[in-house]
Amino acid sequence: MKVLSKKFFRQIRQAKLQFFALVAIVAIGTFFSTGLTAISGSLSSYIEPYYQEYNLSDAIVYFDALPAEAVQSFLQIEGVKRAEVRQVLEMSVSQSEHSAKLLVHTIPLHNEINRSALVEGREPGAGEVLIDSFFAEANQLKVGDTIQLVHQKSEWNLMISGLCENVEHSFNIEDASMVLPDRETFGVAYLAEESLGQAVYNQLLIELEAGFALSDVLPQIEATAVKYPYQYVIPKESMSSYQAIRTTIDNNKVLSFVVPLILFTISSIIILISLSRLVDSQRSQIGIMKALGVSRKTILYHYMLYPITSTFFGSGAGLGLAYFLFVPMLDDIGRRTYSLPGYQVSLSLHSVFLPLLISLLFGCIACYISTRRILKQNTMELMKPKSVKSAHRLALEKVPQLWSRLNFTYKLLLRDMSINKWKLLAGSLGVMACVILMVTALGFRASMQQMMQRTKDMYSYDLLIHSEAELVEEVLQDQVAEISFLTKLNLQLTDYEKTRFEFLVLDPSTSHFRHFDEDHHSVVLRDDGLILPQSFAKRHDISPGQEIRAVLIQEDGTAQELRLHVAQLSAQYTAPKIFASQEYLRKSIGEIAPNGMTVRIIQGDIASIKEELLDRPEALSVSTSEDVQLRISNLIKQNNPVFSIFILVAIVLSFGAIYTVSTINIQEQMRDLAIMKVLGYSRKEIYRLLFNQNFLITTIAIFCALPFCVLSYGQVVDALRASGQMIPDQLHGLTFIGGAGITVLITVITNQLLKLPIRQIDMAESIKQFE
């Protein structure tokens, strides 16, 4: 066995690159498997104890106003263990540079549900506030600082007593359209009831007894709630944070199994083909070993070293890459995405052993299948030369007009491929996986850029100012090129979970805002209704022409119930808003004076003008169109490493598959290639034969991959849509061409590398070998 092992390692040395390609595929499988299992594993092992320790509410009941004593009536419902009331308000942080908002919660007395995890400092007393640590970090706030919070012209100056995270805001996004939290502009805060003065409770937190489900108690909760100005109930499972984390865990769990399964299947097929070819070329050696009395088992174990070694090296490399590259990156993404104190992505034993076992199992099965037939043959048969594989006619030959026109290299190629379907399949599968990964990554990147472009097209003002016109004139003076007045209000859609939107009432002739549908066709603001964000309309099945109930919330906090007509939909990829014309507002509500404006300036630094305006206490908020673009730009930057990994993996996979299959091809066709050389065929013609074969594999794989690309990209978009984000869902021709182009380029590079083994074919030796 020791001698056989030596022989095995010498064989590997002879086919280094082929072995390396195989190891690379196993490494990628391990890399993905361990990485993705690490996310789902770390998150699920962290989140359940976290939810339990800080007691995530089973449901939140929303009210317009609820008296404190109402809690008792909810506590009497069988199955309700605890109930707590609180007030939740969205407040602006007045000294923030980024028009930041905080979702402020009062802390109920004897707070047991949705308790905050203190990261630094202490619980807030009167005149103090606890803010989330990521918001504090992004806005350079620290314990002991004082912040000014503004809500409907009321102001509170509060000292930061501590930094925290809360179980209910573990995925803390301002609105469902956002892919990642923007911690500079949105955070959460908790304060004692007395800090607000008179608290008007608008939320009731419910904790259920063990063994009770919300569905058991929901009818009684609703029956009790309707006695008050009740809005709706949101169960734990529908809360955006809970949902986002569950989706991440579930998706990654599936992906961590499916992706490596595909990759290990490809590597097994390659092992199967490589070993079949190796065993076949060594049939006489196997015959001699058997003649010398070496048992079948020993010979089989000797070949088993191939999958064992490739798994060992591949898993080691994949694990190393995952540990040093993927895990830190995932950890960073985890920190940017989730607000979980002390959360860290770590590799578990389970995540390490699973890919190792799958790869080993698949590899050993492939090895067993490829060696079984030859090991069963008797010794004499093995020592005789192997008969040539029978060629057969192709369907294409029945069309002589076409067949006779084909060059001999194509005839050879087509017949060879029809005989070696498995080899073709293995190569094509690897390349297909590459095209799918590449197109999905490029498609997602193109979507991000499209989002950026659409946002630029949509918002063409320099400054959006929420203030009095006199201030603008005073600060900007002769720098104004164009000014357009608007009214900025809030609209709460009654029948759609009371979702709040920024409501911009514009002059239809303004060129500062443009609206587009999903296909980038212009949507013109009309006087007969609203423009609603398409993603929201799709999610709630709202179509143009429909009437919706809404509550208009004005700056002074007065609310007015309305019935509004949806006229059109527009694709908005970030911070979606509802738009209407001033004429429509007049018709449906009455006269409301403009409270802001958009400005285009002639010259000057927009950022410094913004700062100058923000320094003035009269300015309520100032933003630039670049602020919106910056959000997407940050998103692109954050996703860059993920794109790079996808593309790198695709390249390695494609190279591995094409190179391995091609070198096997060269070895198998060595005799034919040597004969071609002897017959006077030039190297170029021989290269062409093999290169055409690779191009054919690549072309077939590209075409077969197209529907899967659409499917894969669709899955990514669907997953994001499920959480309310809007991503352009169309894969453009250029993305396909890009993905296919890179794949073809990899084929060309692989072909160049294959020139060496072709050049090294020794005609005399090759022919003698077969004789």
Partner 1 sequence: MKSIIQFDGVFKTYQQGEVKVHALKDADFQIYEGEFVIIFGASGAGKSTILNILGGIDRPTSGRVVVDGDDISQLSEHELTNFRKEKVGFVFQFYNLIANLTALENVAFASDGLADVFMPSDILGQVGLADKQHHFPSQLSGGEQQRVAIARAVAKRPKFLLCDEPTGALDTVAGITVLNLLEKLNRQDRCTVVLITHNPDLLPMADKVVHVQDGEVREVSLNESRKAMKEMELS
**Which residues lie near partner 1 (CB under 8 A)?**
387-392, 408, 411-412, 415-416, 419, 671-672, 675-683, 763-764, 767-768, 770-771
Q: Which residues of 407-422 are buried (b: 16+ CB within 10 A; e: fewer)?
A: eebbebbbbbbeebee
Which CB atom, from 350 or from 759, has the smaller least distance to partner 1? 759
Q: Which residue has the tokens 């280094």?
A: 16
List Cβ neighbours of 182 (8 Å cut-off, separation of 6 or more).
173, 174, 631, 634
What does residue 752 show for φ and ψ, rounded to 5 degrees?
-60, -40
Minimum CB distance to partner 1, residue 693 (Å)? 12
Asked if 277 and 664 touch (Cβ cutoff 8 Å), the reply is yes
Minimum CB distance to partner 1, residue 8 (Å)? 21
| H-run or E-run covering 612 | helix 606-614
Which CB atom, from 88 or from 763, has the smaller least distance to partner 1? 763
Which CB atom, from 756 or from 764, has the smaller least distance to partner 1? 764
Minimum CB distance to partner 1, residue 678 (Å)? 6
664 vs 579: CA distance, rounded Å: 63
Alpha helices in 55-88 (DSSP H): 70-75
Which CB atom, from 586 or from 768, has the smaller least distance to partner 1? 768
Asked if 448 and 639 touch (Cβ cutoff 8 Å), the reply is yes
Minimum CB distance to partner 1, residue 670 (Å)? 12
Which CB atom, from 681 or from 708, has the smaller least distance to partner 1? 681
Question: For the chain, what is the total number of helices (H) and then of strands (E)?
Answer: 24, 22
Minimum CB distance to partner 1, residue 7 (Å)? 17
DSSP 636-696: HHHHHHHHHHHHHHHHHHHHHHHHHHHHHHHHHTHHHHHHHHHTT--HHHHHHHHHHHHHH
Minimum CB distance to partner 1, residue 379 (Å)? 23
Which CB atom, from 112 or from 280, has the smaller least distance to partner 1? 280
Minimum CB distance to partner 1, residue 701 (Å)? 22
3-state secondary structure 542-562: CCCCCEEEEEEECCCCCEEEE
Two tokens, residue 321: 């890459």
Which CB atom, from 373 or from 683, has the smaller least distance to partner 1? 683
Looking at this protein, which amino acid is placed at residue 146?
T
Minimum CB distance to partner 1, residue 412 (Å)? 5
List Cβ neighbours of 439 (8 Å cut-off, separation of 6 or more).
705, 709, 712, 713, 731, 735, 736, 738, 739, 740
Asked if 101 and 90 touch (Cβ cutoff 8 Å), the reply is yes
Which CB atom, from 291 or from 391, has the smaller least distance to partner 1? 391
Which CB atom, from 16 or from 392, has the smaller least distance to partner 1? 392
Minimum CB distance to partner 1, residue 709 (Å)? 33
282 vs 290: CA distance, rounded Å: 12
Which CB atom, from 373 or from 768, has the smaller least distance to partner 1? 768
What residues form DSSP beta bridges with 500? Answer: 492
Which CB atom, from 143 or from 396, has the smaller least distance to partner 1? 396
List Cβ neighbours of 341 (8 Å cut-off, separation of 6 or more).
117, 119, 133, 165
Which CB atom, from 17 or from 419, has the smaller least distance to partner 1? 419
Asked if 446 and 732 touch (Cβ cutoff 8 Å), the reply is yes
Asked if 710 and 729 touch (Cβ cutoff 8 Å), the reply is no
Minimum CB distance to partner 1, residue 675 (Å)? 5
Which CB atom, from 425 or from 675, has the smaller least distance to partner 1? 675
CA distances from 143 to 95, 116, 117, 752 (A): 16, 16, 15, 62
Helix (H/G/I), strand (E/B), else coil: 211: coil
Which CB atom, from 410 or from 485, has the smaller least distance to partner 1? 410
Asked if 743 and 651 touch (Cβ cutoff 8 Å), the reply is no
548 vs 594: CA distance, rounded Å: 24
Which CB atom, from 375 or from 406, has the smaller least distance to partner 1? 406
Minimum CB distance to partner 1, residue 669 (Å)? 9
DSSP state, residue 139: T
148 vs 225: CA distance, rounded Å: 34
What residues form DSSP beta bridges with 598? Answer: 464, 484
Minimum CB distance to partner 1, residue 665 (Å)? 13
Helix-helix angle 606-614:469-476, to 10 degrees: 130
Minimum CB distance to partner 1, residue 765 (Å)? 9
Minimum CB distance to partner 1, residue 388 (Å)? 5
Minimum CB distance to partner 1, residue 383 (Å)? 17
Which CB atom, from 681 or from 695, has the smaller least distance to partner 1? 681
Strand 559-570 with 530-533, pairing? parallel
Minimum CB distance to partner 1, residue 393 (Å)? 9
